[in-house]
Structure 1
Amino acid sequence: MSMENYQTIHRLGSGSCGSVYLVRHVHSRKLFAMKKIDLDETKKTRTKEAVLKEASILSKLKHPHIVAYHESFFEETDGTLVIIQDYCDGGTLADKIIEARNKQSHFEEKQIMQWFIQIVMAVQFIHSNKVLHRDLKTENVFLTKKNVVKIGDFGIAKTLDSTIDVAKTVVGTPTYLSPELCQDIPYNSKSDIWAVGCVLYELCALSPPFDAQNIISLFYKIIKAEFEPIPSQYSVALQELTKMILVKTPEDRPSASAILNLPLIKDHLTAFIEEKKEDLQHQKVQRDTSKLSLMKSPCRNISPNSINLSPSPRAKRKHAASLSPIVAKNQALESPTQPKLSPIVSPHQAELPPLTTDLVENGNGDESVEQIDYSDDFDESSGSEIEEDIEEPSKDLSEGEVEYDDDFEDSDSDETLEEIVHQAKEAAELEPVDDFFADSQNSATLTCATILKKQCLEALESKKYEDVQKMVIADTLKNLV
């Protein structure tokens, strides 16, 4: 386990605690996302021991809607923890929202609900294992090219104190903070549910439910839990679902399992299961058809009398170059009308590439030019002969552009689809359980609220924090913000 096993392609992004890179495994040639987390012994949540413990927890979270963890190790050269995870090439929900906002076009309700139920299934799974995400937002909800949702970027070494650091530096505003987080109440499972509600709202409205020009105004809006309704084009049931989740009191919010038992969710979950079962059946039929086609192709069904054991022109040239002048001259005098039908493969034929070769190297040394691909991405296989003398020109990739295999995504496999269907069926049969539990990292949570208090006091100058609380209760703080 070391960096020697991975080739860095380019950086995908960076944050206050580290960076994420797109890498390729040097042996399997598969793409991964590599997170490099900066350690900080002065912070309890970012010490080597704490981060390693978090990585160990992530390694146990096996679910089709959670970004898969593969391995982690310490890079002594720069003092970082390296985490290797699945690379999701479909972008994030944040990307989809920006795209929709630019087009001024809202998502269809069916699409929103398909994404939403996958998020809730993942949250229910981690909560059932007494794990909190702590940083749910549209930027951390990833998509595969098959439109499968995978939540990632758990609050590993980047817990609540770093979230508020962003607000403090005015880089952005923590729009997903829950009301209890602003009131000295430790982060808990219902805080994750609040974040889920914020994601749902943003998918509908294409903007977060709580936003403001400064931290004080945002603080006020969040603790009042008042927001504009989602667009009227969506069903009443969806509007009620949003209101049900985004309630001020944590105890009044439904758990993930309770959400999965709502009639609206059950209907969409049933439709989701049926759709995935159809995808799985279609994929199996497609694969079986592809195999049958290969068995019937000329390359697979060749009669002994029709076998042409003559090597290709390129192989002839390579073989001739390796022979002594005398042997080469004698072979040149042989009659071309006397084919040798010996079943024994000659040495120069052993140099020919096998028909099962998937990839050949292009001029840049990357395995990106596909000769024969038996993946499920293709409906039919070619029965034509391989022309070995045609060399594909190497493609010059512009800076930042990535060339990768078309079928690297794990979601293409029958096994993954079967797991998606299995987990969805289990979710549909869950009983509603109020799995409320609090975060053990209370100190980080209190730091967050302390910073918010300081922000308020600095902005309101002579006003004391107690006065601010009274103004909130009396609903008069809005006169100041």
Structure 2
Amino acid sequence: MKAITLRRLSRASTSLPLPPMLARKVSIVNLADFVIDVEQIRPGNHEQQEYPATCCFDNKEVILKVLPKGSNTNFLQTNPSFVMAFEENDMLFCIYEKNDSLKDHINRCKEDGTTFQECYIWLTISNLAKYILKGSITPGTQISTSKILFGGNGEIIIKQDSDQNSGQDMMAQMGAAMYEAPEVLSQSEPDMSAFSWVIGCVIYEMLALEPAFYDRTGTNPFSVFMDITQGKLPPEPQNGSKGLKNLMFNCLKVDKNERINVEDIVSVAETQICQLSQ
């Protein structure tokens, strides 16, 4: 079982040289095959119903997402980290490979009292923009630093939820950081320029080690919505080059027609990466 690995187990009937009856038997997993790491559980895990766990037979660290039995699982196939799913006790358990998120990297910088290297930020922005241009996600899709995952070879993966929240749902969550463009919050028809706004928010957070738009006072979450729609930008980060900050401000334009487009973001980032590598 250890030699099979969890991902190969999900394709046992086709990838393993086993008799069909045995392949079906070994491909069955259940909740007893996983141990949830209680010490790693945070409030956000309960909110999203996602829990860090270890697979007992190969000691692989995974994420268990819990959904009601019969949930629409089409979205699972869009996430390269998805391994398999199984039903138990009227629940659907989805298994994902554990990938570090950009939020994890930001939190480690805060804990260590360090900042990101300039080249790392440019490379992350370039890879994020390239992922967006692949067309795997649509304008208006909720993106945050916690949903930006790094695959095993460093590629960017955007974790997609089973359902995207509407503008009204966003209003109910304004206590958290917000990455949505003004036109998304006002429920106007978003286009690719909404992604440029998100990239601006990501640049800000990598420089300041805190989100661009959240309730800094802890008393008025509605002010975050107003700041975004009225174009009130957060305090300028102390870290970062002039080039990074210029790109950030060119992304964070309330008028979507004034924002830099995603293709040009890739071009700017690639140019900077080449210059820094020389």
TM-score, normalization by structure 1: 0.44
Distance 1:270 1:83 in 2: 43
Q: Which amino acid aligns with 1:18?
A: Q
Matched, 1:8 2:34: yes
Task: Please say if residues 17 and 158 of structure 1, whose CA atoms lie closer than 8 Å, have aligned partners that are also in contact.
Answer: no
- The within-5 A match list for 1:296-307 is none
Q: Which amino acid aligns with 1:7?
A: D
Structure 1 residues 100 and 76: alpha-carbon distance in aligned structure 2, compared to 1, 3 A threshold:
closer
Structure 1 residues 157 and 2: alpha-carbon distance in aligned structure 2, compared to 1, 3 A threshold:
farther
Distance 1:233 1:33 in 2: 33
How far the C-alpha of 1:199 sits from its partner, in A, is 1.1
RMSD (CA atoms): 3.4
Give the structure 1 partner of residue 94 of structure 2.
83
Give the structure 2 partner of residue 35 of structure 1.
65
Q: Secondary structure at the match of 1:199?
A: helix
Distance 1:20 1:132 in 2: 28
Distance 2:171 2:85 in 1: 27
Could you tell me which of 176, 180, 202 is aligned with 2:179? Answer: 176
Identical residues among aligned pairs (%): 17
Could you tell me which of 248, 266, 274 is aligned with 2:271? Answer: 266
How far the C-alpha of 1:248 sits from its partner, in A, is 1.0
Matched, 1:202 2:205: yes
Give the structure 1 partner of residue 195 of structure 2.
192
Matched, 1:120 2:129: yes
How far the C-alpha of 1:228 sits from its partner, in A, is 4.0
Task: Please say if residues 129 and 266 of structure 2, whose CA atoms lie closer than 8 Å, have aligned partners that are also in contact.
Answer: yes
Q: Which amino acid aligns with 1:241?
A: L
Task: Please say if residues 53 and 61 of structure 2, whose CA atoms lie closer than 8 Å, have aligned partners that are also in contact.
Answer: yes
Structure 1 residues 173 and 87: alpha-carbon distance in aligned structure 2, compared to 1, 3 A threshold:
closer
Task: Please say if residues 17 and 38 of structure 1, whose CA atoms lie closer than 8 Å, have aligned partners that are also in contact.
Answer: no
Q: Which amino acid aligns with 2:51?
A: V
Give the structure 2 partner of residue 137 of structure 1.
144
How far the C-alpha of 1:143 sits from its partner, in A, is 4.0
Distance 1:153 1:110 in 2: 24
Q: Secondary structure at the match of 1:16?
A: helix
Distance 1:204 1:134 in 2: 23
How far the C-alpha of 1:179 sits from its partner, in A, is 0.9
Q: Which amino acid aligns with 2:36?
A: H
Task: Please say if residues 246 and 253 of structure 1, whose CA atoms lie closer than 8 Å, have aligned partners that are also in contact.
Answer: yes
Structure 1 residues 163 and 237: alpha-carbon distance in aligned structure 2, compared to 1, 3 A threshold:
same
Q: Secondary structure at the match of 1:20?
A: strand
In structure 2, runs of 5+ residues without a counterpart are 1-26
Give the structure 1 partner of residue 173 of structure 2.
166
Task: Please say if residues 175 and 210 of structure 1, whose CA atoms lie closer than 8 Å, have aligned partners that are also in contact.
Answer: yes
Distance 1:162 1:37 in 2: 19
Aligned residues: 243
Could you tell me which of 201, 215, 223 is aligned with 1:217? Answer: 223
Structure 1 residues 78 and 150: alpha-carbon distance in aligned structure 2, compared to 1, 3 A threshold:
farther
How far the C-alpha of 1:145 sits from its partner, in A, is 7.8
Give the structure 2 partner of residue 69 of structure 1.
82
How far the C-alpha of 1:182 sits from its partner, in A, is 2.6
Give the structure 2 partner of residue 18 of structure 1.
49
How far the C-alpha of 1:102 sits from its partner, in A, is 4.2
1:106-153 Cα distance to aligned partner (Å, 9 max, x none): 32212222222222222222x2x454582311222234687x253343
Q: Secondary structure at the match of 1:118?
A: helix
Q: Secondary structure at the match of 1:35?
A: strand
Distance 1:158 1:3 in 2: 29
Give the structure 2 partner of residue 99 of structure 1.
108
Task: Please say if residues 93 and 141 of structure 1, whose CA atoms lie closer than 8 Å, have aligned partners that are also in contact.
Answer: yes
Distance 1:270 1:235 in 2: 13
Structure 1 residues 117 and 106: alpha-carbon distance in aligned structure 2, compared to 1, 3 A threshold:
same
Q: Secondary structure at the match of 1:138?
A: coil
Of the structure 1 ranges 242-251 and 103-112, higher mean CA displacement relative to structure 2 is found in 103-112
Distance 2:82 2:152 in 1: 19
How far the C-alpha of 1:195 sits from its partner, in A, is 1.9
1:192-244 Cα distance to aligned partner (Å, 9 max, x none): 33222211111011222223231221121111222246435522211110011
Q: Which amino acid aligns with 2:108?
A: E
Q: Which amino acid aligns with 1:54?
A: F
Q: Secondary structure at the match of 2:244?
A: helix
Task: Please say if residues 52 and 61 of structure 2, whose CA atoms lie closer than 8 Å, have aligned partners that are also in contact.
Answer: no
Q: Which amino acid aligns with 1:120?
A: A
Could you tell me which of 253, 259, 262 is aligned with 1:253? Answer: 259
Give the structure 1 partner of residue 119 of structure 2.
110
Distance 1:163 1:21 in 2: 26
Q: Secondary structure at the match of 1:185?
A: coil
How far the C-alpha of 1:247 sits from its partner, in A, is 1.1
Structure 1 residues 142 and 130: alpha-carbon distance in aligned structure 2, compared to 1, 3 A threshold:
closer
Task: Please say if residues 140 and 184 of structure 2, whose CA atoms lie closer than 8 Å, have aligned partners that are also in contact.
Answer: no
Q: Which has the larger radius of gyration?
A: 1
Distance 1:76 1:99 in 2: 36
Structure 1 residues 269 and 20: alpha-carbon distance in aligned structure 2, compared to 1, 3 A threshold:
farther
